[in-house]
Structure 1
Amino acid sequence: MLFQSQIFILVFLPVTLALYYAAAGSRTLRQIVVVTASLVFYGAWDVRFVPLLVGLTLANWLIGRLHEANPRRDWPVIGVVLNLAVLGVCKFTNFFAGTFAALLGMTFSPWDIILPLGISFFVFQKISYLVDLRRGQAHAYPLLDFFMFVTFFPQLIAGPIVRHNEIIEQFAADPRRAEMWENLSRGLVLYSIGAAKKLGIADYVSQVADRLFLAAQAAPASAAEAWTAAGAFTLQIYFDFSGYSDMAIGLALMFGLRMPYNFDAPYRATSIRDFWRRWHMTLSRFLRDYLYIPMGGNRGGGLAQARNAFITMLLAGLWHGANWTFVVWGGLHGVALAINGAWARAGWRMPALLGWALTLVFVMAGWVLFRAPDFATAWTMLRGMAGLEGLGHVKVDHAVAFVIGTAIALFGPTSQQVALLRLRPVHWLAVPVGIVLLLLLLQSGTRTPSEFIYFQF
C-alpha cells in the first residue's frame, strides 16, 4: 500500500483518521487504533513481515524493562547485537557469502532470504533507543507507547528515522486540541506537496534515467547521454525520497504529531559537509551521534577525524544496500568529508559559487555509482561524463519535469517552508489544494504506482 495509491488515499487514510479522532478522548484507544492500522499497513505489503516486526519490537521493549529492573546488566548491548544480527542475516548474508565465494573462485547461488520492508530504518530506530538507554538518556516506556513509536506507519518503511525523545512524549497530547484543524490542513498540504514531487517529477524523470542506465549496460555513453542520465537520477532520487518524507511528515501532522525534517534543499550545499547537513538529515544525525562521535569524532587530530569520517560513511554506504557499489559510494563520500575537514582546519576559503559547483558535480558523479547495477555500468557512465566517448546527443523526454524539478531544487522554497511556515490559514486555499490532490489521485489511477527508491534499503 503506497502513500500515493488510491486505496491509501480513499480508504486507509480516511478510515484510520476517523477512528483515531473518534477515539481521541482515550489515549489507550487512539494508540490501539494507530498500532492496529500500522500493522495492517505493513502486512498489506507481505503478511510474512509482520511477525518479525512485532517480535523484534517486543524483544526491544522487554530489554528496556530488564535494564530498568537491573541497570547494572548490559541489556542494551545485547539488544544492539540482536538488532544488528537480524539486519545482518536478512540483508547481508547473501552479500558476504557471495563475496567470500568469489574470492575463493567458487560459484554461489543466493539463499532465499526474505528482506523485510523497512528493516534498515526500524532497526536503526531501535538501536538509537537502546544506546540512549545505556547512556541514561532514555527509560523503559509502556508497551503501547513503544509499539506506537516503532510501528507508526508514516515513518515505518523509509523514515524519517525518528528518535524516542522526539515523538513518544507527544502521544499524551489530545489530538483535538486548539490547533487540530491547522494540523490537519497543514499536514494535508505537505502530504500533497510530497505526492506532487513523487507523481509529477520523480516518476517522470525516472523513465529517462532507467532508459539511459539500461543502454549503458550494452554500449558506451556519450557525454550528452551520461550527463542527462546523471541529471535525471539526481532529480529522481531527491524528489522521490524528499517527496516520501514530506508525505510522511504531513501524515504524522494529521494525527497531531510532529516528526523531524529530513531534507533542507541539499542541492544548494556549498560543501560536502553542508550537503550531509541537508540530505537525509535524520540519518546524518544518527551516524553522527551513534557512530562518528563515539569513535572519537573531531577529537584526536586531523588523521583521526579523517579516519572516523571515512569509516562512518563506509558503513553508511553498506547500510544503503548489499552491493559493493554502495560501499564505494559511501567510501568516496567519506574521503570527500575528510578532505573538506582538512580544508576547514587549514582555514582556507572557497567562493560559494565554486564550492556549490564542485559539490554538485561530485554528488552527481556519486549518484551514478549509487544508481548503477554494477561497476561496469558506472564506469561507462563516468567515462561518458568525462567526455571520453564524444559529445553525442540525446532525446530528453519529459523536459517539463526536468525544468520544474531543477528550478524547485535550486531556487524554490522547501516544502516545510511552504506548508508549515509561509501558508496562512485562509479558507480559499482549500480549493487549489483540493484540486491538486484530486489531479494527483486521478493520475495515480492511470498507471501502476511505483515504489519509492528507499524502500529497497
Structure 2
Amino acid sequence: MLFASQSFLIVFLPLVLGLYYAVGDSRAARQGVIIAASVLFYGLWDWRFVPFLLAMVGFSQTVAIMWGRTRRRIWLRVGIVGNLAVLFGFKYADWLVGCVLRWSGREHAAWPIVLPLGLSFFVFQKISYLVDLGRGQARVYRLADFMEFVTFFPQMVAGPIVRHNELVPQFDRSPRNAAMWENLGCGGLLLLVGLGKKVGLADTLGGLCAPVFDAAHAGHVPGMGAAWLAAVAYMLQIYFDFSGYSDMAIGMALMMGIRLPFNFNAPYMAVSVRDFWRRWHMTLSRFLRDYIYIPLGGNRCAPVRQAANVMVTMELAGVWHGAGWNFALWGLLHGAALAAAHAWDRAGRAMPRSCAYVLTMGFVLVTWVVFRAADLATAGRMLGAMAGLHGMGATAIHHPVVLGLAVVVAVMGPSSQQMILDRVRPAPWVAVAAGIAFVLLVFLIGGRPPEPFIYFQF
C-alpha cells in the first residue's frame, strides 16, 4: 500500500486515526492500534515479509535484553553485525558475487532476491539504538515499546530516520489534549502538501526524465537539450518525491500528536556542498555524522585524516543507497567535494554567493545524473550529451507549467515546515482550499498508474 493511493487516503488512514483517537486515553490501546496498523500496512505491500520484520524486531530486542542483563558488549556487537549481515545479504551479496564472476570472465544469473520494503531504514534505526545502548544513552525498552518504535508506519519504510529517544517518550502522551485540533490541522496540511509534491509534481517530472535515461541505458545517445532537460527534471523529481514522502510521514505523525524530525530544508537554496547536506535528508546526515564520521575522528584530527573520514563516510552513504558502481561513485564525488570544502574553509578563502550557488547546484545536478543512471556507461552517455559531445538534437518540453512551478518552489521556497507551522494561520478559506485540493489530488491519483516513492528501492 502506498501513501499516495486512494485506498490509503480514503480508507486506511481515516480508520486508523478514528481508532487511535477513540482509545486515545489508554496507553496500551493506543499502542495496540499503532502496532496492528503498522503490521497491516507493511503486510499489504507484501505479506511474505511480515515474519521477517517481526523476526528482525525480536532479534534486536533479544540482544538489548541480554545486554541489559549482562552488560557484555559482545551482545551489542552481535546485534549490530547481525543487522548489517541481513542488509548485506539482501542488498549487496548478489551484486558483489556478480562483480567477481564478471571480472573472472564468467556469467552471473541474478539471484531471485526481493528486497524487503524499508530494509535500510529500519536496519539503521535499530543500529543507532544498539549503539546508544553501548554509549549509555538508551535504556532497554519493553518489547511492545520497541516494536511500536521500529514499526511506526508513517516513517517505517522511507524515514525520516528517527531515534528512539525522539519517538518512544511521545508514545506516553495522549493525543487528546489542548493541541489536538492544531495537530490535526497542521498535520493534515503537511500531508496534503506532501501529496501534492508527489502526485502533482514528482510523478509528472518522472515522465520527463525516465524515457531519456532509459534510452541512454539501452545505448541511445540523447541530444544536449534532451539530456539537460532530463537531468533537471530528475533533480526536481527526487527532491519532490522524497520530501513529499517526508512531509506526508511527518504530517500523519503530527495528526496522531507525534512530532518527527524534519528531513528537508530547501536544499536547492544551498550555497555549498556542506550547506546542501545540512538541508538534504537531514536525518541521514546526522546519522552519518554521529555514528560514522565522529567515531572515525571527525574533524578533531589532522587535515588529511579529516579528509579521509569525510570520504569514507560519504562512500558509505553512497553504497547505502544501492548496490551499484554509480552509487559508489556518487558517494565518492560528494566525499571529495566535502573534503575540498573543508580545505577551502581552512585556507580562509571566500567566493561570491552567486558563484557559490551556481557551482553547488551544478555539482549537485551532475552527481544526480550519476545517481539516477542505471550504470556508469549510462551516466557517461548522459554527461557526454550534456557536454554537447553529440549535438543539440530536437527537444520538446512537455508539461512546461509543472516544470516551471517545480523550479520556482524548489529554488525560492519556503520549506514545507516554515509554510505550514510558521506562516499558515487557521481560517475557513484555508480549510476550503485544502479540501478542494485534496479531492482533486485523489482524482488525479485514480486517473493514472500508482508510482512508488523513489526511496522505496533503497
TM-score range, shorter chain: over 0.9
Instruction: Report SS of the residue matched to 1:44.
Output: helix
Partner of 1:150: 150
Partner of 2:277: 276
Instruction: Report SS of the residue matched to 1:236.
Output: helix
Instruction: Report SS of the residue matched to 2:298.
Output: coil
Matches within 5 A, 1:152-171: 152-171=152-171
Matches within 5 A, 1:336-351: 336-351=337-352
Partner of 2:54: 54
The answer on 1:366 being equivalent to 2:359 is no
Partner of 2:328: 327
Alpha-carbon separation, structure 1, partners of 2:450 and 2:108: 34
Q: Report runs of 4+ in structure 1 exceeding 4 Å deviation.
A: none
Paired residues of 2:203 and 2:451 also in contact (CA < 8 A) = yes
Which range is displaced more, 63-72 or 196-205? 63-72
Q: TM-score, normalization: structure 2?
A: 0.98
Q: CA deviation at 1:329?
A: 0.7
- Output the amino acid matched with 1:171: F
Paired residues of 2:198 and 2:245 also in contact (CA < 8 A) = yes
Instruction: Report SS of the residue matched to 1:264.
Output: coil
> Structure 1 residues 73 and 410 mapped into 2: Cα distance closer, same or farther (>3 Å)?
closer
Alpha-carbon separation, structure 2, partners of 1:289 and 1:50: 30
Size of the aligned set, in residue pairs, is: 457
Which range is displaced more, 37-46 or 424-433? 424-433
- Output the amino acid matched with 2:277: W
Instruction: Report SS of the residue matched to 1:447.
Output: coil
Partner of 1:22: 22
Partner of 1:45: 45
Partner of 1:254: 255
Paired residues of 2:73 and 2:134 also in contact (CA < 8 A) = no
- Output the amino acid matched with 1:48: R
CA RMSD of aligned residues (A): 1.0
Partner of 2:407: 406
Partner of 1:356: 357
Paired residues of 2:41 and 2:153 also in contact (CA < 8 A) = yes
Q: CA deviation at 1:257?
A: 0.3
Which range is displaced more, 68-77 or 262-271? 68-77
Partner of 2:433: 432
Q: CA deviation at 1:72?
A: 3.3
Alpha-carbon separation, structure 2, partners of 1:111 and 1:205: 32
- Output the amino acid matched with 1:16: V
Alpha-carbon separation, structure 2, partners of 1:331 and 1:128: 24
Alpha-carbon separation, structure 1, partners of 2:245 and 2:137: 30
Alpha-carbon separation, structure 2, partners of 1:223 and 1:111: 37
Alpha-carbon separation, structure 1, partners of 2:309 and 2:105: 33
Which range is displaced more, 23-32 or 72-81? 72-81
Partner of 1:135: 135
Q: Identify unmatched segments of 5+ residues in structure 1.
A: none
Q: CA deviation at 1:422?
A: 1.1
- Output the amino acid matched with 2:114: I
Q: CA deviation at 1:374?
A: 1.4
Q: CA deviation at 1:391?
A: 2.8
- Output the amino acid matched with 1:154: P
Alpha-carbon separation, structure 2, partners of 1:396 and 1:428: 35
- Output the amino acid matched with 1:76: L
- Output the amino acid matched with 1:259: L
Q: CA deviation at 1:82?
A: 0.7
Alpha-carbon separation, structure 1, partners of 2:426 and 2:136: 41
- Output the amino acid matched with 2:303: G
The answer on 1:2 being equivalent to 2:2 is yes
Alpha-carbon separation, structure 2, partners of 1:60 and 1:311: 26
Q: CA deviation at 1:219?
A: 2.4
Paired residues of 2:189 and 2:420 also in contact (CA < 8 A) = yes
Q: CA deviation at 1:216?
A: 2.2
Alpha-carbon separation, structure 2, partners of 1:147 and 1:421: 33
Instruction: Report SS of the residue matched to 1:336.
Output: helix
> Structure 1 residues 313 and 73 mapped into 2: Cα distance closer, same or farther (>3 Å)?
closer
Partner of 2:102: 102
C-alpha distance after superposition, 1:364-388 (max 9, x if no partner): 1001111111111111110111122
Matches within 5 A, 1:111-260: 111-217=111-217, 218-260=219-261
Q: CA deviation at 1:392?
A: 3.0
- Output the amino acid matched with 1:326: F
Partner of 1:291: 292
Alpha-carbon separation, structure 2, partners of 1:147 and 1:266: 33
Which range is displaced more, 402-411 or 376-385? 376-385
- The percentage of counterpart residues that share the same residue type is 54
- Output the amino acid matched with 2:426: P
Alpha-carbon separation, structure 1, partners of 2:419 and 2:106: 55
Q: CA deviation at 1:324?
A: 1.0
Q: TM-score, normalization: structure 1?
A: 0.98
Which range is displaced more, 190-199 or 61-70? 61-70
Alpha-carbon separation, structure 1, partners of 2:49 and 2:304: 43
- Output the amino acid matched with 1:281: M
- Output the amino acid matched with 1:321: G
Paired residues of 2:16 and 2:33 also in contact (CA < 8 A) = yes
Q: CA deviation at 1:48?
A: 0.8
C-alpha distance after superposition, 1:418-452 (max 9, x if no partner): 11121112333211111111111111111121000
